[in-house]
Amino acid sequence: MTAAYRRPSLSPAALAQLDQAAAAAREHGQPAFRITPVPADAFPCAWCDCPDSDAILGRHDAQACQKCDQGATVAVALRSPTTPLGAVYTLCDRHRQPWWELHAAMLGLPANQPPPGLIPAVA
């Protein structure tokens, strides 16, 4: 059993995504994203619909806000060239846009220019 204070470890696939995003971030000198499709319903969506900004950033418990009940369709790895921290998010189709809008605002990137493959093109 894992102690409550220990962070969960990433899978080898998630570590590879972070490594590839980190290489792109170093090469281009700006935050990099790696978007990878995931098998339908293999992973839950990591987003929640709570209006509290702290909850959106993951600082809440199960009693305060329920996570999205949809299955994820993409995994998004995010790395910045200036920090060793990175993150991998699994997102459903409904939460790709809100996730991008929040992270674009935090990173100072244009909200209307998401990384290729994140937001499905409208036909």
Task: Tell how strand 32-37 and strand 86-91 pair up.
Answer: unpaired
- Sequence-separated (6 or more) residues with CB below 8 Å from residue 67: 44, 45, 46, 47, 48
Tell me the per-residue pLDDT of 54-83, one tens digit each, with 9 for 90 and over: 555 555 666 666 678 888 888 888 877 776
The residue type of 32 is A
pLDDT of amino acid 1: 42
Where b means 16+ CB within 10 Å and e means fewer, 70-92 reads: ebbbbbbbbbeeeeeebebbbbb
**pLDDT above 80 for 51:** no
Tell me the per-residue pLDDT of 73-114, one tens digit each, with 9 for 90 and over: 888 888 777 766 677 888 888 889 888 888 888 878 888 988
